[in-house]
Amino acid sequence: MTDLSASPFVRQNLVAERAAPTKTTGFIGFLRTRLLNSPGNILLTILGLLLAWYIVVPAVRFLLVDAVWTGKDRTACLAEKAGHEVGACWPYIQAKLAQLIYGFYPEAQRWRVNLTYALGAALLLPLLMPRLPAKGLNSGLFFFAFPVVAFFLLHGGGISGFGVSWIAGLLQLFEQSIGGAGDLLVNLSRSSAIAPLLWVVGKVLVLVGVLIHWLIFPLTWLRDQLQASSLPVWGDFLVTAVIVSAVMFVLGGGVRTGRRALLGSLLTFAGIAVGIKLMGLDHGGFPIVDTRLWGGLLVTLVIAITGIVASMPIGIALALGRRSTIPLIRIFSIAFIEFWRGVPLITVLFFATYMLPLFVPGNFAVDGLLRALIGVAIFTGAYMAEVIRGGLAAVARGQAEAASALGLSWWKTTSLIVLPQALRYVIPGIVNSFISLFKDTSLVSIVALFDLLGSLRASFSDPVWTTPTTAFTGFAFAGMIYFVFCFGMSRYSLFVENRLNAHRRH
Amino acid sequence: MSIAPRKPPLQFALRLKRALGGKTGWNGFAAQIAFAAILAWIAYEIVANARTNLETQHIASGFGFLNYNAGFDVNQSLIAYNNSDTYWRVFFVGLLNTILVSVIGIVFATVIGFVVALCRLSPNGVLSRIGGIYVEIVRNLPVLFQILFWYLAVLAALPAPRQSISIFSTFFLNNRGLIVPLPVSEPGLYPFLAALAAGIVVALGLRHHARRILFQRGHMIRIWPYVLGCLVGLPLASMLIFGWPFKLELPQLKGFNFAGGARIIPEFVALTVALSTYTGAFIAEIVRAGVMSVHKGQMEAGSSLGLSRAATLRLIVVPQAMRVVVPPLTSQYLNLTKNSSLAVAIGYPDLVSVFAGTAVSQTGQAIEIIAMTMGVYLLLSLTTSALMSIYGWRINRSMAA
């Protein structure tokens, strides 16, 4: 038995403090846990530091310490003249800077390029900041108004008509093509085994052509009247504005609810009128600068931005087509997407450069830059379709079901419920496609367009600046431009992704 | 008295509706007709325009040109070729060059990718940061930029043959390319290859046997000495009996150039280096993502079962990571193959460069040639994606089981 009466042991003095645990945070902690915690790791650290040392030191020496900063021509960048080993030849970049940014764009007109850059930046930056309001207006301006304005600013030239003339012209072309096909079939039917069938189809097509001719007669008549008047552009503009606004008013719900649509339409046309007046499009616009003179960063940005803007509608249409329940449309979309995704971009550019001109009527001369743009847009559109399809699949099925339970049609369900959510999900994916598109624009230098890389390559052959370090300097400069753009965009994409996944973070 | 069951509604009309218009019925049918009409109209326009344009520009059509003499030289070909061969031969020369640069690029890219991924995953702070910087820099520069950088800046800055950079006096690097020793076959080559093949077969059989024993009886039998014996011993024995399988012809500097050895053209070197470093950065990210996708608990479970770190990685983490890694890895291999078409920028004679480039400018038959070139790449990527969907299907099945 234990002696209960004995007093229990009570400790009288404090236990000596234990030493603090080894620090695992901060720089010292990092050193202890990640760099020097075992002999093997110490060895790896030393090896890594040596590797970094042998890359960083020569790079800094080349770019800054040994670099030549001023000079008139190649002699400044030669080792004999400088008296030491020569690094980067920066005067070469100074001399070629204009060529790398504008190409051969006439010097007096370069303010137009700068203005376009400024407009684009002013519209794009607010679009990228999620906090700022009016995303709808902003994206409308950037995706629809900006490309048109940029075209007239960069390329120059004016317009000779407006909506009525353009639509009349297009319909007339369509009518001629249908009639031509009908005549061809009727002619073929003379020497064919299935002659009656061909004859009938041909006659039907001819009849359709004639029908279209009479259907569009009011439009063509109006066009002729307008073209004969003293102010063709403004007359046409007015007629188009009145017709479109009236249609919007009626479609928007007439007197009861159509006021908003009417107001929107009128404001849009007012904006267009201001644009036409400011750029003087009704009397010729700016002097035309042929696209063969464009070059450098200008071409890179034009192709990248046109590519992404044009690929959005193509991608959306193909993605919806691929999910469609109508067999023919689905099969066509799948075949189209898989075809263009399966071939390298350079063959697409060759296709656009060599084959496309053969596919359009001989009297349409397709501009070299436009050909590349078409190729890039189709190619990016196919990739974009897959990105958007991912977004469409991510929208919960119940959303579309709820919409059809409310009685919305397929078009309304898609455009009001499904697509807005899907596009929100795929913003990071779109930015990633834009990054790869931006990098891929360098390929156009192979089909004789002078983008940033093409201009750089062309500048190497200038005998005034041939030195041993010219090529390295040029690549260092262009590499910095590419890196800043691509790295910035990839960080932005990460930022959006984190924002979208905010609710999922632990 | 019973009520006679009603007849089911007539199925024929419904079936017809379904077959013609899919789920949307007659509306879908109408949409298909309209769509087909538009497609037919576009196709008609293209064909009609192409025909008139070809006529006005006096360009022949059809594939007859493939049997004509090409009449130009190609500076690297794996099969015998001279300038009096046909365009068919040019096509195959280009195709083989594309395959060559792709295969070698894929091997190097995989090695670089796994090494960089290991660096990024390593607990060592310096190595993981170096790996990260490499990936960020290389991924954010266009691949054409990198090809031109290696070709126009790095390789062009190399010295002339007389001042070649020598690596162990066997490899020589200069501005005419990379000179490597050329293996020349000796009589012992075929016995050597046969012994090597036999060794590999026996080693695989042994491994299979060991696994069966392990699964049936739970015994781990030691096979590595036998495997080593087969893989090394058999070829060694054949070398002892039949003599050296091949001897290396070392390059020698004679006058202003090298005699002996094989010259790898600088275009090939630049293209391979650029493609493998570029794709390697993407592969590194894929591998890293794959390894990180395996839950931490798997590693912990492995060590609580008493497996060593290496065994846990080999038996538990890597097999699960591979499931995530393989599909994007194949698409990177495909990307490398497609990017090899950028050879046209530096004049490496690949399919696009000699066939879609030189041959188009000589014959003008753009439609046929570009369609053939696109067809080759399309075939390649469709085959790959078909294989990948089979792989995905098998993975799903094994996951479900």
Q: What is the pLDDT of residue A373?
A: 92
Give the strand pairing for B257-259 and B165-167: unpaired
Higher pLDDT among residues A227 and A350, named by residue: A350
| Residue A131 to residue A142: CA distance in whole angstroms | 17
Q: Which residues from chain A sit within 8 angstroms of residue B41, using beta carbons?
A: 177-178, 181
Residue type at A388? I
| Contact check, Cβ <8 Å, A482/B345 | no
Contacts of B63 (CB under 8 A, 6+ apart): B368
Q: What is the pLDDT of residue A4?
A: 64
Question: What angle do the packed helices A427-440 and A470-500 form, to 10 degrees?
Answer: 170
Provide the 8-state DSSP code for B65.
G
User: Could you tell me if A184 lies within 8 Å of chain B, comparing CB atoms?
Assistant: yes
User: Could you tell me if A326 lies within 8 Å of chain B, comparing CB atoms?
Assistant: yes
Structure tokens at B340: 């090899």
CB environment A369-401: b (16+ within 10 A), e (fewer) = bebbbbbbbbbbbbbbbbbbbebbeebeeeebe
- Angle formed at CA A29 by CA A28 and CA A31, multiple of 5 degrees: 65
Q: Which residues from chain A sit within 8 angstroms of residue B148, using beta carbons?
A: 453, 457, 475
Residues of chain B with pLDDT under 70: 1-2, 9, 21-22, 255-256, 399-401
| Contact check, Cβ <8 Å, B145/A453 | yes
- Asked if residue B236 lies in contact with residue B191, where contact means CB atoms within 8 angstroms, the answer is no
Q: How far apart are the first and last CA of chain A?
A: 57
Contacts of B350 (CB under 8 A, 6+ apart): B94, B97, B98, B101, B340, B341, B343, B344
Q: What is the pLDDT of residue B401?
A: 54
- Asked if residue B85 lies in contact with residue B92, where contact means CB atoms within 8 angstroms, the answer is no
Domain boundaries, chain A: 32-65, 93-105+291-504, 163-283
Q: What is the pLDDT of residue B327?
A: 86
Q: What is the pLDDT of residue B188?
A: 73
Residue A415 vs residues A116, A371, B211: alpha-carbon distances, Å: 31, 31, 58
At the topology level, CATH places domain B87-181+250-400 in: MetI-like fold (1.10.3720)
User: Where does the pLDDT of residue A334 fall: very low under 50, low under 70, confident under 90, or very high at 90 and above?
Assistant: very high
- Asked if residue A296 lies in contact with residue A171, where contact means CB atoms within 8 angstroms, the answer is no
Q: Which residues from chain A sit within 8 angstroms of residue B130, using beta carbons?
A: 48, 51-52
Contacts of A484 (CB under 8 A, 6+ apart): none
Reported ipTM exceeds the 0.85 cut: no
pLDDT above 70: percentage of residues in chain A:
97
Pick the residue from chain A with its C-alpha nearest to B372: A347
- Asked if residue A307 lies in contact with residue A178, where contact means CB atoms within 8 angstroms, the answer is no
Structure tokens at B219: 């015994």
Q: What is the pLDDT of residue A505?
A: 56
Give the number of beta-carbon pairs within 8 Å between A and B.
174
Helix (H, G, I), strand (E, B) or coil at B386: helix
| Residue B294 to residue A459: CA distance in whole angstroms | 50
- Asked if residue B31 lies in contact with residue A326, where contact means CB atoms within 8 angstroms, the answer is yes
Question: What mean pLDDT comes out for the span A66-80?
Answer: 79
Q: Which residues from chain B sit within 8 angstroms of residue A334, using beta carbons?
A: none
Structure tokens at B237: 């024995």
**Closest of B305, B138, B63 to residue A479, by C-alpha:** B138
| Residue B145 to residue B151: CA distance in whole angstroms | 10
Q: Name which of B118, B341, B377 to mutate to probe chain A: the one with the most chain A Cβ atoms within 10 A of its Cβ.
A: B341
| Contact check, Cβ <8 Å, A445/B367 | no
Q: Strand locations in B147-261, DSSP E?
A: 165-167, 171-174, 177-180, 182-185, 246-249, 252-254, 257-259
User: Could you tell me if A338 lies within 8 Å of chain B, comparing CB atoms?
Assistant: yes
User: Where does the pLDDT of residue A235 fall: very low under 50, low under 70, confident under 90, or very high at 90 and above?
Assistant: confident
How far does the CA of residue B353 sit from the closest CA of chain A (Å)? Answer: 10
Structure tokens at A486: 């691509």
Helix (H, G, I), strand (E, B) or coil at B263: strand
Provide the phi-psi class of B260: left if phi over 0, else alpha when psi is between -120 and 50, else beta.
left
User: Could you tell me if A341 lies within 8 Å of chain B, comparing CB atoms?
Assistant: yes
How far does the CA of residue B397 sit from the closest CA of chain A (Å)? Answer: 23
Q: Is the pLDDT of residue A474 over 80?
A: yes
User: Where does the pLDDT of residue A345 fall: very low under 50, low under 70, confident under 90, or very high at 90 and above?
Assistant: very high
User: Where does the pLDDT of residue A75 fall: very low under 50, low under 70, confident under 90, or very high at 90 and above?
Assistant: confident
At the topology level, CATH places domain A93-105+291-504 in: MetI-like fold (1.10.3720)
Pick the residue from chain A with its C-alpha nearest to B360: A354
| Contact check, Cβ <8 Å, A48/B126 | yes
Structure tokens at B368: 């046929």
**What does residue B48 show for φ and ψ, rounded to 5 degrees?**
-65, -45
Domain boundaries, chain B: 87-181+250-400
Question: pLDDT digits over A103-145, tens only?
Answer: 888 888 888 889 999 999 998 888 888 888 888 888 888 888 8
Q: What is the pLDDT of residue A167?
A: 83
Q: Name which of A32, A51, A183, A328 to mutate to probe chain B: the one with the most chain B Cβ atoms within 10 A of its Cβ.
A: A328
Percentages helix, strand, coil for chain A, rounded to the nearest 5?
Answer: 75, 0, 20
Q: How many DSSP H helices and E strands does chain B contain?
A: 14, 8
| Contact check, Cβ <8 Å, B142/A440 | yes
Question: What mean pLDDT comes out for the span A491-504?
Answer: 82
What is the SS3 assignment for B23-86? Answer: HHCHHHHHHHHHHHHHHHHHHHHHHHHHHHHHHHCCCCCCCHHHHCECCCCCCCCCCCCCCCCE
Q: How far apart are the first and last CA of chain B?
A: 52
Question: pLDDT digits over A152-199, tens only?
Answer: 888 877 777 777 778 888 888 888 887 877 777 777 777 666 777 777
- Asked if residue A267 lies in contact with residue A145, where contact means CB atoms within 8 angstroms, the answer is no
| Residue B91 to residue B355: CA distance in whole angstroms | 6
How far does the CA of residue A369 sit from the closest CA of chain B (Å)? Answer: 18
User: Could you tell me if A144 lies within 8 Å of chain B, comparing CB atoms?
Assistant: no
Residues in chain A: 506
**Closest of B10, B292, B265 to residue B128, by C-alpha:** B292
Between the CA atoms of A277, A278, A283 and A287, what dihedral angle is there, to the nearest 10 degrees?
Answer: -160
- Asked if residue A442 lies in contact with residue B142, where contact means CB atoms within 8 angstroms, the answer is yes
**Closest of A441, A289, A298, A469 to residue A379, by C-alpha:** A441
Q: Name which of B148, B358, B363, B369 to mutate to probe chain A: the one with the most chain A Cβ atoms within 10 A of its Cβ.
A: B148
| Residue B104 to residue B111: CA distance in whole angstroms | 11
